[in-house]
Amino acid sequence: MAQTTAHRPSPAAPEHAIRLTDLHRRFAGRGGVGTKALDGVSLDVAAGEIFGIVGRSGAGKSTLIRCVNLLERPDSGAVRVLGEDLLLLGDRALRERRRGIGMVFQHFNLLSSRTVADNVAYPLEVAGIPAAERGPRVAEALSLVGLSEKAGAYPAQLSGGQKQRVGIARALAPRPRILLCDEATSALDPETTQEILGLIKRLRDKLDLTVLLITHEMAVVKEICDRVAVMEAGQVVEQGRVFEVFTRPQHPTTRRFIADTIGYAVPPGTVARLPAARPGEERRLLQVLFAGPNSTRAVISEASRRFELDLDIISGRIDAIGEEPFGLMALAAYGAPARIDAAVDWFGELGLAVTPVNEGA
33-92: which residues touch other proteins (CB under 8 A)?
69, 71
Among 127, 237, 271, 342, binds other proteins (CB under 8 A): 127
Q: What is the DSSP string of 212-223?
A: EEEES-HHHHHH
| Among the listed residues 255, 223, 253, the one whose alpha carbon sits nearest the alpha carbon of residue 320 | 223
Among 56, 73, 95, 317, binds other proteins (CB under 8 A): 95
Among 4, 5, 57, 113, binds other proteins (CB under 8 A): 113
Beta bridge partners of 358: 265
Among 22, 84, 85, 125, binds other proteins (CB under 8 A): 125
CA geometry: angle 243, 249, 255, nearest 5 deg = 115
Among 88, 126, 207, 318, binds other proteins (CB under 8 A): 126
Query: How far apart (Å, rounded) are the C-alpha atoms in residues 36 and 45?
Result: 23
Give burial (CB, 10 Å; 0-12/13-18/19+) of 112.
Answer: exposed
CB of 71 to other proteins, least distance (A): 6
- Residue type at 243 in one-letter notation: F
Does 320 bind other proteins (CB under 8 A)? Our answer is no
Among 56, 73, 107, 297, binds other proteins (CB under 8 A): 107
Backbone φ and ψ for 221, nearest 5 degrees, come out as -60, -45
Query: How far apart (Å, rounded) are the C-alpha atoms in residues 8 and 13?
Result: 14
Among 3, 57, 112, 296, binds other proteins (CB under 8 A): 112
> Closest CB to other proteins among 183 and 238?
183
185-244: which residues touch other proteins (CB under 8 A)?
none
CB of 123 to other proteins, least distance (A): 4
Contact 184, 109 (CB under 8 A): no
Among 15, 75, 85, 96, binds other proteins (CB under 8 A): 96
Query: How far apart (Å, rounded) are the C-alpha atoms in residues 160 and 190?
Result: 12
**34 alpha-carbon distance from chain centroid:** 28
Does 156 bind other proteins (CB under 8 A)? Our answer is yes
Does 306 bind other proteins (CB under 8 A)? Our answer is no
Does 99 bind other proteins (CB under 8 A)? Our answer is yes
Residues that bind other proteins (rule: CB under 8 A) add up to a total of 28
CB of 155 to other proteins, least distance (A): 7
Query: How far apart (Å, rounded) are the C-alpha atoms in residues 247 and 242?
Result: 8
| Among the listed residues 191, 280, 225, 259, the one whose alpha carbon sits nearest the alpha carbon of residue 53 | 225
Three-state DSSP state, 200: helix
Does 311 bind other proteins (CB under 8 A)? Our answer is no
Does 154 bind other proteins (CB under 8 A)? Our answer is yes
Q: Would you tell me which residues interact with other proteins (CB under 8 A)? A: 69, 71, 95-99, 101, 103, 105, 107, 109-114, 122-123, 125-127, 154-156, 170, 174, 180
